[in-house]
Structure 1
Amino acid sequence: MDGSSSSPRGSEVRIGHSLNKDEEAFVARRRNTVLQCLQRLQIYRDDEANFVGGGQRAMPGVPNIALLGSGGGQRAMVGLLGSLVQLDKAGLLDCILYLSGVSGSTWCMASLYQEPDWSTKLDTMKDKIIKRLSGPVVSFTEAFKKLEKYYNKHFFSLTDVWAVLTVTEYVKEINEHTLTEEWNHDSKDPFPIYTLIDKQCRQQGHGDPWFEISPYEAGYSVTGAFVDTCNFGSQFDNGSKKNHQDGLDMLYLQALCGSALAESEDIKKFNWQQIKDFGKCLGTNNEVGHNSSAVDKQCQVLTDLANMNLCVLNGEDPSDLDQSIRTTLNGLQIRYSIYQSMNDWGKNYNFLYNITDKTVPSAVLESETRDYEDAGLLLNSPYFSVLRKERDIDLIISLDFSDGDPFVTVREAAEMCKKLNIPFPEVNIPTEDVKKPKDFYVYKGQNAPSVIHIPLFNVVNCGGKLRLTS
């Protein structure tokens, strides 16, 4: 359905499956790069029957190739970087049309896309990123100032705390650019797609959980409901923007995409221990820029909040700590907001609120806010961002950096696609390969994209030292 025919009149929300016009224009340019790359490698084939949608294209026979990076924390971040470097050395990087990531892979993407045309100078970018990751962590002064900035947003949630206290420990920077600022319309790089899920849809088991954010649009991949990325997070009513909020910066986006462990009890304990340690360090740090009395109170509240939540998670009575917080607060609302929002992750205004459209699941229309979280909680690879029919993908290269079962992402993607009637090749996995996976697998299907699945841990990479646990 074309977006213009179903969006409310005057709407800033687009309901429809067609691609954003700017994305279409980029794809047309990028396909010239793909064509030249294939010709250099002498693997260009002018046979449109080999590809899913070649007959409808300006350049039939040129495949649309998507590269997927799975989740896996810092391992995925470094793994995706290394994989891209190897593709570049093999002369294959320019074949990639789309680059999409989940969780830790988005941390790598955010680092790369800070530099315009990074794919033309990848060795330099690799050295720069590795040097940063090997360097010092973000100072507590910078972290505290960033946390205060996040507090001034309309919604303050644990995603903000996660961004400042956890994500910065891995990425070693505070990236305050927005996704639209990082993107150049004439970029020579693959088109980036960051993926997450709608928490309520995941928990309720209906609606459309698959959510994507590109430099141009953010929205529900399967349903086809989008808003300009610069407006994602703003308040909407019946498709019209009522209250503008500044675009999400890249540190927050990395936290939003990389919060897969947020619902784990162990990680909750870890997160609150981080907050506790942060409070202690603030108490001994003279760079924060507040008077010592205020800092002492802030640190006391922050430490009490962390201890209170650790008590709850450990099944202990937190009432004494609760009273201490109330006694000490005296207007220190940022600390109390952390306490109040300790169960909120990725809360943002719902741009579909009050829209009347039968093509959109009612589950995502009725609430003024939605919570978004790491797609790894449902599927640890961003298949649904590139399976949109209009993206017309012929080949998916799946880089899997997960631990445990090396086939879980591709197998679950096949099962989910079957339920949703989305074309996907049949995935057959030899029993003996589950514990000893090969270095790559190719799955083909009729009228479906081919999938090359590449587990990081395999018999070629690891040799006789490979040990996989379920």
Structure 2
Amino acid sequence: MSASKPNESVKRRNKNLLNNSEQEFVAGRRNTVLQSLKKLKIQCSRKEVPNIALLGSGGGQRAMVGLLGSLVQLDKAGLLDCILYLSGVSGSTWCMASLYKEPDWSTKLETVKNKILERIRGPEVSLTDAMAKLKKYYYGKDFFSLTDVWAVLAVTSYVKEIDEHTITEQRNQHNKDPFPIYAVIDKQTKQSKDGDPWFEINPYEAGYSLSGVFVDTGNFGSQFHKGSKIKHQDEFDILYLQALCGSALGDEEDIKKSLWPKIKDFFQNETTIEAMRKDDPISLSVDECHRALMDLVNMNLSVLKGEDPSGFDKSIRTNLNELSGGKIQPIYKMKTVETADKRADKRYTNRVTLDVCEYLRSRNSNWLVDIWISICKCMAEWIWGRKYNFLHNMTDEAVNSTLLQSETRDYIDAGLLLNSPYFSVLREDRDIDLIISLDFSEGDSFMTVNGASDTCKKLKIPFPEVSVPSDKGKKPKDFYVFKGQNAPTVIHIPLFNAVNCGDKVEDWRKKYRTFQGSYSAEMIADLMDVAGKNISNNREKLKEQIRAVIEEKDWD
């Protein structure tokens, strides 16, 4: 396949009609699947080739390493070439992005695996490189958000690189690999519970999976009006894609507890401070700005920790009130920790954060300070993944009207709604026969498959009945099969289970938490091994289910 010129208009996909490039890709991949089935001695004609999707759930670095270990064993078992689609959310997309940077990675997976492991065991991205990347993101587009910050300060600490390639560059590089789908959700639609929140990004198209409206991936982020592009924005790179998909490893408070310290560490580093001092501001000195912003960071951290933030509040007002002409004033006196009203303190802190940012911006001309101010502002307003809405002012009765009205949309980690990308592969036009769900979630081992089942019932999407076994929870098994008439078969595989972990399932879960920094080389090796066992221990069961969907499918 050759790369094509980006289509500069919004496209609606009719049911059972894939994008032409995806149709071509799938046709070629089905030939690969057929040959793979023959090697496995699974009888199948060209017409009977099943459409099999492999799903990787979220789970931070646990999901990244777990998916890699699973794919390695699928390859060794001769099953990897049976997979038509590979779709992921959150941490699984970190693995996918690392794989798909290598052309035809599935033909040389052992070599690619070693390169990935060597990198993620190695040193983090340097502060100088991180600073340069943050500057590129800040000045390179119309909307700067916490996704940019998360990419540079958080994702790089796990993937250990800044990948500036784009997904559309991969269009002619993966003829021998499964078709990749990266899944996120629309934040506003999730919050309103009105419309289609499920959003996917693949090398050809980005758009709403169930509504069937898409734009060329190279134009996702550009400004559209009534379905036609009116202002171009450069395509985002792979690092940003990893942050967009893996932008929220937990609830808001968890993320803030992770992100504020990273912001603090970054801006109190001597290298960063020295870079600030090289560019003199117009009137307010870098040191004064730095002191005020560091107080602001510490005040936010104190509120999150349930500590008394009033000292930082006082310091901010003492340093800046005189200069601001009394503009930065408390709404009310912040309470001491003994009588704290946590919600009121958060509201107050957000207000002070915005006031301080507004004042400092008016008195500052230093680019690094300006970025810091924008980061603090984004933290207060909680802005993630903001993009121009390519559906703005379109007329389409099949799309929820609220989706057509707003000029911008925010896109976030799909794990905040459903921690597995079921709805990218449940599109009717993809006609999936078998879903293999690798679940790397923290907590309930059946939350994703139950959530998918419940949502499918509401939306009348064919999905098997999910009967949750009595052994769910602390000691799940390593292989579950859910079947239903006129619905895809779903194989559900929890990462830590009674088979590969014995009676130490809880110990494994405690060892591999989502929020604990990057894993050691020994932890990565152990996790690769335990994830791989879920495939190697179930090779025959996987073959049996592939045979079954071939036999059960109505091919007429």
Same fold (TM over 0.5): yes
State whether structure 2 residue 254 is matched by structure 1 residue 266.
yes
The 2-side partners of 1:162 and 1:458 are apart by 31
Larger mean CA deviation between 235-244 and 263-272 belongs to: 263-272
The 1-side partners of 2:13 and 2:296 are apart by 45
Cα displacement (A) at 1:304: 4.1
Q: Give the alignment of 1:227-266 within 5 angstroms.
A: 227-261=215-249, 263-266=251-254
Structure 2 CA distance for partners of 1:80 and 1:373, relative to 1, 3 Å: same
1:316 is aligned, of 309, 315, 322, to 309
1:142 is aligned, of 108, 115, 129, to 129
Structure 1 gaps of 5+ residues are 1-9, 47-58
Residue 528 of structure 2 corresponds to none
The 1-side partners of 2:288 and 2:212 are apart by 48
Structure 2 CA distance for partners of 1:85 and 1:302, relative to 1, 3 Å: farther
Residue 325 of structure 2 corresponds to none
SS at match of 1:94: helix
Q: Give the alignment of 1:30-69 within 5 angstroms.
A: 30-46=29-45, 59-69=46-56
Residue 330 of structure 1 corresponds to 364
Structure 2 CA distance for partners of 1:327 and 1:193, relative to 1, 3 Å: closer
Deviations 1:341-383 (A, max 9, x none): 2221110000000000100111211100000000000000000
CA RMSD of aligned residues (A): 2.3
1:210 is aligned, of 177, 187, 198, to 198
SS at match of 1:423: coil
2:297 is aligned, of 291, 306, 313, to 306
Q: Quick check: 1:198–1:211 contact (8 Å CA) kept in 2?
A: yes
Q: What is the one-letter code of the residue matched to 2:146?
A: L
The 2-side partners of 1:162 and 1:234 are apart by 21
Residue 443 of structure 1 corresponds to 482
Cα displacement (A) at 1:187: 2.0
Q: Give the alignment of 1:74-113 within 5 angstroms.
A: 74-113=61-100
Cα displacement (A) at 1:281: 1.5
Q: Quick check: 1:283–1:296 contact (8 Å CA) kept in 2?
A: no
Q: What is the one-letter code of the residue matched to 1:115?
A: E
The 1-side partners of 2:35 and 2:185 are apart by 36
State whether structure 2 residue 415 is matched by structure 1 residue 376.
yes
State whether structure 2 residue 445 is matched by structure 1 residue 406.
yes
The 1-side partners of 2:202 and 2:43 are apart by 28
Q: What is the one-letter code of the residue matched to 2:376?
A: Y
Cα displacement (A) at 1:311: 4.6
Q: Quick check: 1:207–1:361 contact (8 Å CA) kept in 2?
A: yes
State whether structure 2 residue 453 is matched by structure 1 residue 456.
no
Q: Quick check: 1:275–1:303 contact (8 Å CA) kept in 2?
A: no
Residue 169 of structure 2 corresponds to 181
The 1-side partners of 2:267 and 2:441 are apart by 33
Residue 423 of structure 1 corresponds to 462
Cα displacement (A) at 1:199: 0.2
Q: Quick check: 1:276–1:302 contact (8 Å CA) kept in 2?
A: no
Deviations 1:180-231 (A, max 9, x none): 1133265211100000000001001111100000000000001101000000
Cα displacement (A) at 1:289: 9.1
Q: Quick check: 2:34–2:44 contact (8 Å CA) kept in 1?
A: no
Residue 426 of structure 2 corresponds to 387
TM-score, normalised via structure 1 length: 0.90
Cα displacement (A) at 1:261: 3.2
The 2-side partners of 1:39 and 1:298 are apart by 67
Cα displacement (A) at 1:433: 3.6
The 1-side partners of 2:240 and 2:453 are apart by 31
Deviations 1:257-282 (A, max 9, x none): 10223642132022011100101114
SS at match of 1:445: coil
Structure 2 CA distance for partners of 1:165 and 1:305, relative to 1, 3 Å: farther
Cα displacement (A) at 1:307: 2.5
Residue 6 of structure 1 corresponds to none
Structure 2 CA distance for partners of 1:320 and 1:183, relative to 1, 3 Å: farther
Residue 53 of structure 1 corresponds to none
Q: Quick check: 2:143–2:386 contact (8 Å CA) kept in 1?
A: yes
Cα displacement (A) at 1:285: 7.3
Larger radius of gyration: 2
Residue 390 of structure 2 corresponds to 351
Structure 2 CA distance for partners of 1:359 and 1:128, relative to 1, 3 Å: same
Q: Percent identity?
A: 65
The 2-side partners of 1:447 and 1:14 are apart by 29
SS at match of 1:457: coil
Matched positions, count: 448
1:340 is aligned, of 353, 377, 382, to 377
Deviations 1:398-430 (A, max 9, x none): 000112111110111011001000000011122
Structure 2 CA distance for partners of 1:238 and 1:86, relative to 1, 3 Å: same
Larger mean CA deviation between 248-257 and 277-286 belongs to: 277-286
Structure 2 CA distance for partners of 1:289 and 1:78, relative to 1, 3 Å: same
Cα displacement (A) at 1:80: 0.2
Larger mean CA deviation between 208-217 and 341-350 belongs to: 341-350
Residue 20 of structure 1 corresponds to 19
TM-score, normalised via structure 2 length: 0.77
Q: What is the one-letter code of the residue matched to 1:291?
A: K
Q: What is the one-letter code of the residue matched to 1:94?
A: D
The 2-side partners of 1:243 and 1:436 are apart by 53
Q: Quick check: 2:183–2:200 contact (8 Å CA) kept in 1?
A: yes
Q: Quick check: 1:279–1:302 contact (8 Å CA) kept in 2?
A: no
Residue 208 of structure 2 corresponds to 220
Structure 2 gaps of 5+ residues are 1-6, 321-355, 511-556
Q: Quick check: 1:234–1:244 contact (8 Å CA) kept in 2?
A: yes
Q: What is the one-letter code of the residue matched to 1:335?
A: W
Q: Quick check: 1:201–1:207 contact (8 Å CA) kept in 2?
A: yes
Cα displacement (A) at 1:466: 1.9
Cα displacement (A) at 1:312: 5.2
Structure 2 CA distance for partners of 1:302 and 1:150, relative to 1, 3 Å: farther
Q: Quick check: 1:400–1:454 contact (8 Å CA) kept in 2?
A: yes
Deviations 1:91-139 (A, max 9, x none): 1111110000000000000000000000001001111111111100011
